[in-house]
């Protein structure tokens, strides 16, 4: 079975940093499309950043320069480094995977559009 387990969330003050981790089992991230999206209750989810299996990467414009996706194929783990966090970044953050190439890459590629997602990790940014 495919499992994605996120960790690294928590509470941080504005301007702080967090690094989220997503440990993957059941598939190799080297051959999959991998992404991070977030969800605020009552709002639409939004894709933040993703790697495609062809090596290309995409990041949502509003978090470029603050968020960076990376991966360690030896550890089969994907990361999301988040810097200069703002209160509006408060959300549940999810790691996601697809063994098939994601065709419609964009902010709306989130939630159930991904075949696999983790359980989510809460990020809270406040004073």
Provide CB contacts within 8 A for 89, sequence distance 6+. 38, 82, 123, 125
| E strands present in 1-127 | 3-7, 10-12, 18-25, 33-39, 46-51, 57-59, 67-72, 77-82, 91-98, 116-117, 121-125
DSSP summary character for residue 63? G
Using one digit for the tens of pLDDT, what is the confidence trace for 41-97? Answer: 899 999 999 999 988 999 999 999 999 999 999 999 999 999 999 999 999 999 999
CA distance 111 to 95: 10
Q: What percent of the chain has pLDDT over 90?
A: 91
């Amino acid at each position: 079975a495919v499992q994605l387990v996120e960790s690294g969330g928590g509470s941080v003050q504005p301007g702080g940093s967090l690094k989220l981790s997503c440990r993957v089992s059941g598939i190799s991230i080297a051959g999959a499309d991998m992404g991070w999206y977030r969800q605020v209750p009552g709002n639409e989810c939004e894709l933040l950043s993703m790697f495609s299996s062809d090596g290309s990467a995409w990041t949502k414009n509003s978090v470029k320069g603050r968020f960076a996706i990376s991966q360690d194929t030896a550890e089969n783990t994907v990361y999301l480094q988040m810097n200069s966090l703002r209160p509006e970044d408060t959300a549940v953050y999810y790691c996601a995977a697809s063994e098939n190439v994601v065709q419609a890459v964009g902010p709306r590629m989130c939630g159930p559009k991904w075949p696999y997602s983790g359980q989510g990790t809460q990020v809270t940014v406040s004073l």
